[in-house]
A and B are shown apart, each in its own frame.
Chain A
Amino acid sequence: MSDFPHTPPKFSWTFSPEANAEIRRAAASGIYDIRGGGSKRRLPHFDDLLFLGASISRYPLEGYREKCGTDVWLGTRFAKKPIHLDIPITIAGMSFGSLSGPAKEALGRGASAAGTSTTTGDGGMTEEERGHSKTLVYQYLPSRYGMNPDDLRRADAIELVVGQGAKPGGGGMLLGQKISDRVAMMRNLPKGIDQRSACRHPDWTGPDDMEIKIHELREITDWQIPIYVKIGGARPYYDTALSVKAGADVVVLDGMQGGTAATQDVFIEHVGQPTLACIPQAVKALQDLGMHRKVQLIVSGGIRNGADVAKALALGADAVSIGTAALIALGDNDPALEAEYRKLGTTAGAYDDWHEGRDPAGITTQDPELFNRFDPILGGRRLKNYLKVMTLEAQTIARACGKNHLHNLEPEDLCALTIEAAAMAGVPIAGTNWIPGRNGY
């Protein structure tokens, strides 16, 4: 050993400890990493936007006296019975199978108490959810598990799922651990197998066929209920425009922070665009077609609080949808369960192995011992509280901007903290009137 000072140990940025750990894991297991949730990257997001608030040029509304509306109509284009919600925050599609029956019941209870809708998922419609959801959106997915005309007709809207933000271009996956007798029966599959859901619909391909499929669904439901089209954040301008052309009443746009029950980590983190980048593109498509506010836009993927709601609406959305946040409100990843998360080799806040069916919170499991821990009445109350708080927060911001309805928020109420967020959202960087990409700059 020389007496000269040594260069301190230096980790590679490229071959970081995290990257190396994943190489070792893949080499040992022979399978890619599968997990739940959405992108965990630090992405440009709503946090990078600020509201300007009222000043001399605009005056605010009194917080405890003056009304600020929150309701929203969805499906006014073709449906005889469009949906009217008290708040513009809906519950995103999550399947029975990925979630337990009591968790689905809680989503229905909470959403109904808050005056909004829930959505089925890739496992058909359960009585728990239909029975407890005043307004229920029925997803029409490539797998068609449990699909039948009676459930179509007792839904309040149909959501034709083309893509999902966590995995645009990908299908679904429900691993064998969660294929219980009931899940297997609803999906008409053998118990315990790894269940794959196709990435494309089995009986149509492309936008022209989609138009004919939407027409068939309207005929079967006698043009009564709205038909949504859900797209992942891949090419939001064209996908929104094609959905409008195909006859959608509502476009549901899911960015890459949107969650999934189980997908390859490499897919979640490397395919799709951030929610913030997707919204203006979709809004522009609607505006270019003269259909903004006529075909409603619901945005999901990383909505956590009333500020996120207000920002999404200011950028032109008619409503937002929450999935991951709703599960957290129910009790997912609660630090109170830390000891149990440790036993699973993780920690509260980072637990994402939802596909393994061992969720100590009893939400993403089909194990009766675990899901019976979960109280759907209490869960529903927590979700209702959370939805009410988000709405109050969004109203607080809207009033501060002088708006008497959340839908009156507009891009002019916003500025951005970073060049990236400014370019994506199409709003100026704070302290300037510079919008990157506009007017040749």
Chain B
Amino acid sequence: MQSFDLGKDGLRALNSALHALKGQTNMTAWEVINPKGAHAIAAGVDAPVDITVRGSTGYYCAGMNKQATIRIKGSAGPGVAENMMSGAVIVDGDASQYAGATGRGGLLVIKGNASSRCGISMKGIDIVVHGNIGHMSCFMAQSGNIVVLGNAGEALGDSLYEARIFVRGTVKSLGADCIEKEMRDEHLLILEDLLRRGEADAKAKPEEFRRYGSARKLYNFNIDNASAY
């Protein structure tokens, strides 16, 4: 295991070393100590490595991640795993706003709660939240799946496109053009897989969830829908 003291060597040296791993697979385990809420920790990694951050992180930890598995042994600040392409990010604690924003692939697991705008504009990422998610989550979400074991806040899935939303608990309100949809067998299979990969299969079963998606009424402008905008 390669250990990196962020307090001593600084963020630039860390990210520079991690970016230098592109194309390599021989240094598979990294540990980052003393993160102290720094921003952009392990942003832009593009290698199949395991990185464990021992402590809480600031903004944009694991931003644009490709291939790497990044574990945060603490809570994550805003925009964790934003625009993730592939790989996995696992947050042991809570996540602040915009978790997984615009993510295009990979898996984001939040074992605590996620704040507002979780999964905003998501474009293919899978997100599993063991706790609750805040208001305006999945706003303009385009594709991918989000699984919430707890409750969802106000205006869930506002202006949603084709992302799938699974919530086990209550939904305070649905956003414009977001409706509850039938849970079919194919969705139960997706849920089963995501619960397993999201380390949540011992906490919940697929049948306990409800599915939400786009009513597709706002896909093309119609003046009679103006009150929805």
The interface of chain A, by Cβ under 8 A from chain B, is: 30-31, 143-144, 147-149, 152, 176, 188-190, 192-194, 196, 198, 202-204, 209, 212-213, 215-216, 219-223
**Which residues does chain B contribute within 8 Å of A30, judged by CB atoms?**
223-224
Contact residue among B63, B79, B121, B161 (Cβ-Cβ distance under 8 Å from A190): B161
Across the interface, do B64 and A213 meet the contact criterion of CB distance under 8 Å? no
Known: A149-B64, A212-B39, A220-B43. A188 touches B142 (CB 8 A): yes
14 A-B interface contacts by CB (under 8 A): A31-B221, A144-B102, A148-B83, A148-B85, A148-B104, A152-B64, A188-B123, A188-B124, A189-B142, A203-B79, A204-B59, A212-B40, A219-B15, A223-B12
Across the interface, do A198 and B140 meet the contact criterion of CB distance under 8 Å? yes
Q: A209 CA to B77 CA in the complex, in Å?
A: 12
Q: Which residue of A lies closest to B221 (CB)?
A: A194
A-facing residues in B114-141 (Cβ within 8 Å): 117, 120-121, 123-124, 139-140
Counting residue pairs across A and B whose Cβ atoms lie within 8 Å, the total is 102
**Which residues does chain A contribute within 8 Å of B224, judged by CB atoms?**
30
Decide if the interface of chain B is mainly helix, strand, loop or mixed.
loop
**Residues of B in contact, count (CB < 8 Å):** 43
Across the interface, do A203 and B82 meet the contact criterion of CB distance under 8 Å? yes
Across the interface, do B140 and A196 meet the contact criterion of CB distance under 8 Å? yes
Across the interface, do A144 and B83 meet the contact criterion of CB distance under 8 Å? yes
The interface of chain B, by Cβ under 8 A from chain A, is: 11-12, 15-16, 19, 39-40, 43-44, 46, 58-60, 63-64, 66, 78-79, 82-83, 85, 97-98, 101-102, 104, 117, 120-121, 123-124, 139-140, 142-143, 159, 161-162, 219-221, 223-224
Across the interface, do A219 and B43 meet the contact criterion of CB distance under 8 Å? yes
Decide if the interface of chain A is mainly helix, strand, loop or mixed.
loop
Across the interface, do B44 and A149 meet the contact criterion of CB distance under 8 Å? yes
Contact residue among B12, B60, B219 (Cβ-Cβ distance under 8 Å from A194): B219
**Which residues does chain B contribute within 8 Å of A176, judged by CB atoms?**
219-220
**Which residues does chain A contribute within 8 Å of B162, judged by CB atoms?**
190
Contact residue among B121, B143, B221 (Cβ-Cβ distance under 8 Å from A143): B121
Q: A294 CA to B142 CA in the complex, in Å?
A: 40
Q: A213 CA to B19 CA in the complex, in Å?
A: 18
Contact residue among B16, B40, B66, B83 (Cβ-Cβ distance under 8 Å from A215): B40
Q: How far is the CB of B70 from chain A (nearest CB, A)?
A: 14
A188, A196, A221 — most chain B CB neighbours (10 Å): A188
Across the interface, do A149 and B66 meet the contact criterion of CB distance under 8 Å? yes
Known: A31-B223, A148-B104, A212-B59. A189 touches B161 (CB 8 A): yes
Extra contacts besides A176-B220, A188-B124 (13): CB < 8 Å: A31-B223, A144-B83, A190-B219, A198-B140, A203-B97, A204-B79, A215-B39, A216-B63, A219-B11, A220-B43, A220-B63, A220-B64, A222-B15
**Which residues does chain B contribute within 8 Å of A188, judged by CB atoms?**
104, 123-124, 142-143
A152, A176, A204, A219 — most chain B CB neighbours (10 Å): A219
**Which residues does chain B contribute within 8 Å of A144, judged by CB atoms?**
83, 102, 121, 123
